[in-house]
Structure 1
Amino acid sequence: MADRQTVPPEPITAADGTPLKKKLAQALFRSRVRAASLVLPLFAFIMASFVIPIIALMWQGVYNDTFSSYTPNLTEQLKVWDGINDPDEVMYAALVADLKTASADRTIGRIATRVNQEFPGTRSLFTRTARKAKNLKPPFKDSVIKASKKWDNIEVWRAMKITSQDLTPGFYATALDGRYTVDQGFISQDENRQIYVKLFWRTMMISATVMGLCLLLGYPVAYLLATLPLRTSNLLMIMVLLPFWTSLLVRTTAWIAILQSQGVINDLMVYVGITADDARFSLIYNMTGTIIAMTHILLPFMILPLYSVMKTIPPSYMRAARSLGATPTTAFIKVYMPQTIPGIGAGGLLVFILAIGYYITPALVGGQDGQLISNMIAYHMQKSLNWSLAAALGGILLAGVLLLYWAYDRVVGIDNMKLG
């Protein structure tokens, strides 16, 4: 019997002769393009309002070309200077030339501010010397030092060498209570100038305290909402959502009226005899006021994720545990509470992240002891105008949030997060 050759089957084709498999691939591609076009506006909005600003923030923290832009001659000389030997006549000549130009262009203030950020106390040195620059004659080293003996301090020149570098770790060093130097690299600031790390720790501590208080207060409320009849729970839910319908500024101002020395709480404690009229408690413009106000404001953000998880837990689980001999406390701890962990994690993460970036409430009720790192970022953005340092502080705060997010993913799991 002759061997039969296997003939491959002909592909199924459409009416126009195109293979059906190819037609299907083309149709799927077009559907994907249409689906992508629908989400393209959202993607562009997220990129423009979230991703690009964060990238710009991180870049601003390591890049600053103010000094090099306005002092091109001096910058070229500082690049080849070793930072050890005394500046020579050429460097002083470049300094005088750039000071004359900056004085004429009225940019000396920006130069002085930039150097002052690295070496405090030099702003007046630059502005005063710039006014005399047009009268300075060679040899420039002698005439500049004669104008101000501070120019003979090599630390001033080292600070200028650092500021002449467009890419610099100096702002992140400052944000970590350090200082970046030419010869020693990163060194710690004097103890009396170390403020940022302390503020970071205070921010983390207050945020963790607020998160714990919100969990302690919000868990029973969420449980009550999930177990009450629908009509009653809806009425209580309106009370939970009511703060969202009130301005944040109004709520914070209300706490000022309640917590101040002549406020409602102190008057009540004096009336019932808890404290004397001349020994009223200090509940405002300190850390206590910050914690109380922030706990009240952020409490709904803990209740809602907990409620959404508790609502999905069948009541039959608790009844089954009771029928098997468990006490109400044992049944709640071993059966009910473990099922609410996704809600606890989601609410805790949400409250903590919102708390570490809060600004208005600590600014109004915090006083000196209740200020957070967000208030220092706002100060550098609005008053000192040191945007690079503000960006560095914000970058460190962002890194802390990402680290917290990573830890949550490792311990609880992002897939287990439930917000609704």
Structure 2
Amino acid sequence: MTAISEPIKSRDAATLDLRHRATERARRVRALALVLPLFIFLFLSFVMPIVVLLRNAVYDPTISQLMPHSSALLTQWDGKGLPDEPTFAALAADLASAYKAKTIAQIGTRLNYELSGIRSKVIASGRKASEVTQGPYKDAMLGIDSVWGERGTWAVLKRSASPYTSFFVLSALDLNLNQDGALTTTPSDRAIYITIFVRTLTISALVTVATLLLGYPVAYLLAILPTRTSNLLMILVLLPFWTSLLVRTTAWFVLLQDQGIINDALRYLHLTNAPLPLIFSRFGTVVAMTHIQLPFTLLPIYSVMKTISPNYVRAARSLGAGPFLAFWKIYFPLTVPGIAAGCLLTFILCLGYYITPALVGGPTDQMVSGFIAQALNGENNWGKASALGAVLLFATIVLYFVYNRLVGIDKIRFG
């Protein structure tokens, strides 16, 4: 009887194990089906735009597509002197074909990124090259415009012949390549982007510190007040979220202008005789951004404070610590995870500000997002805009790892 029951028990155990595994697989499939739409949404709305941004920062096939014959021959040019006769013939043919296809302006625009003022010369050369029917093509192109006799022009054409280029990323760092291919710095009268990145980081840091100094006491007050009172104050904290960012920024524009409420009040109180330069200044930019970002710093700190038992401070006081010492040694360290979360969130959000500096800031207060918008809307230069965005993304990632190294990302808490 025992010998017969052992195989039956083994079969039952195997069947039970198979059913358990099938149930687990079904559960995992259902869980995957629930989160799959979220993954698809994140991939299409977050991952793919970053991939396209990084690709556009180093990819520009304009010259290789519109000037295929010249691009092929320029790969064999050693970069010394001027190219040979067949290369000039290919140049004349490509410019003539582009002029007939009405794509000559695209070639001129691409070359104008690196050689200022060459766009009109390229368009004129395309029109005249279409009238050239026989060689020698080198003499003909040099006669059309002397720009084709400059080695720097051909060096740019050779670099642009490849669909992959480092030009946009280097220019976003105020660097460029000379006609010999050596890395050089952009002249000081044209080098602006490093200054813009430093300005963006500086304004973001100022706003982060301001929101921390203003938000920490309010968060502490909300955490220790009775629930009914703290809920009322929390509504006031969340009230700005009920209006759009543009409306809030416009309100500050009205308040800070020379004839605004603040300047009128200062003059009425005889605190100043002339309007203070509050609008179109760094002060106005930081104030408006601080007002907008304050809840983002305050709420993580408040959520952490609500989890701290008041018994800790009471115990410190009972052991002889004064109010400030008990707060500084006991309470404040426990709120550091909330401070870390709020400050990191605010700082990263500030890096991408565009509307607020554009409305209340001056020319020296514009952040990198404004120049990205100008590259897209004003210049239609997707490569430049993508490179600026890629550099800002890389800088944010570097700061994130530095922050993790110094503070520890594992210490961040939102409650």
TM-score tier after normalising by the smaller chain length? over 0.9
Question: Following the alignment from structure 1 to structure 2, what is the Cα–Cα distance between the partners of residues 78 and 10?
Answer: 82
Tell me: CA distance 1:151–1:10, structure 2 relative to 1, closer, same or farther (3 Å): farther
Question: Following the alignment from structure 2 to structure 1, what is the Cα–Cα distance between the partners of residues 9 and 397?
Answer: 53
**3-state SS in 2 of match to 1:75:** helix
**Contact 1:103–1:130 (CA under 8 A) maintained in structure 2:** yes
Structure 2-normalised TM-score? 0.95
Establish whether residue 357 from structure 1 lines up as the match of residue 348 from structure 2.
Answer: no
Gaps of 5+ in 2: none
Question: Following the alignment from structure 2 to structure 1, what is the Cα–Cα distance between the partners of residues 278 and 364?
Answer: 12
**Contact 1:70–1:111 (CA under 8 A) maintained in structure 2:** yes
Pairing 1:333-412 to 2, within 5 Å after superposition = 333-412=328-407
Match of 2:327 in 1: 332
Question: Following the alignment from structure 1 to structure 2, what is the Cα–Cα distance between the partners of residues 109 and 10?
Answer: 86
Question: Following the alignment from structure 2 to structure 1, what is the Cα–Cα distance between the partners of residues 343 and 194?
Answer: 23
Pairing 1:13-412 to 2, within 5 Å after superposition = 18-136=14-132, 137-181=134-178, 183-276=180-273, 279-412=274-407
1:21, CA displacement in angstroms? 2.8
**3-state SS in 2 of match to 1:340:** helix
**3-state SS in 2 of match to 1:398:** helix
1:13, CA displacement in angstroms? 5.9
Q: Which moved more, 1:80-89 or 1:23-32?
A: 23-32
**Contact 1:179–1:187 (CA under 8 A) maintained in structure 2:** yes
**3-state SS in 1 of match to 2:184:** strand
Tell me: CA distance 1:211–1:17, structure 2 relative to 1, closer, same or farther (3 Å): closer
Question: Following the alignment from structure 1 to structure 2, what is the Cα–Cα distance between the partners of residues 16 and 108?
Answer: 79
- Count how many residue pairs are aligned between Structure 1 and Structure 2: 411
Question: Following the alignment from structure 2 to structure 1, what is the Cα–Cα distance between the partners of residues 334 and 248?
Answer: 34
Amino acid at match of 1:154: R
Question: Following the alignment from structure 1 to structure 2, what is the Cα–Cα distance between the partners of residues 69 and 10?
Answer: 76
Amino acid at match of 1:329: F
Gaps of 5+ in 1: 1-6
1:15, CA displacement in angstroms? 7.4
Question: Following the alignment from structure 1 to structure 2, what is the Cα–Cα distance between the partners of residues 131 and 138?
Answer: 17
**Contact 2:375–2:384 (CA under 8 A) maintained in structure 1:** yes
Tell me: CA distance 1:11–1:314, structure 2 relative to 1, closer, same or farther (3 Å): farther
1:12, CA displacement in angstroms? 7.1
Question: Following the alignment from structure 1 to structure 2, what is the Cα–Cα distance between the partners of residues 172 and 140?
Answer: 35
Work out the percentage of aligned pairs sharing the same amino acid.
50
Backbone CA RMSD of aligned residues: 1.8
1:317, CA displacement in angstroms? 1.1
Q: Which moved more, 1:303-312 or 1:160-169?
A: 160-169
Cα deviation code 1:398-418 (max 9, x no counterpart) = 111112222232233333222
Cα deviation code 1:127-181 (max 9, x no counterpart) = 1111212222421111111111122111111111111111111111101001134
Amino acid at match of 1:165: S
**Contact 1:289–1:365 (CA under 8 A) maintained in structure 2:** yes
Amino acid at match of 2:212: L
Amino acid at match of 1:248: L
Amino acid at match of 2:175: G
**Contact 2:151–2:179 (CA under 8 A) maintained in structure 1:** no
Cα deviation code 1:285-332 (max 9, x no counterpart) = 122211111011101101111110011111111111111111100011
Match of 1:3 in 2: none
**Contact 1:118–1:163 (CA under 8 A) maintained in structure 2:** no
1:419, CA displacement in angstroms? 2.2
Cα deviation code 1:12-46 (max 9, x no counterpart) = 76878954333322322222122111111111111
Question: Following the alignment from structure 1 to structure 2, what is the Cα–Cα distance between the partners of residues 12 and 281?
Answer: 93
Tell me: CA distance 1:11–1:130, structure 2 relative to 1, closer, same or farther (3 Å): farther
**Contact 1:11–1:19 (CA under 8 A) maintained in structure 2:** no
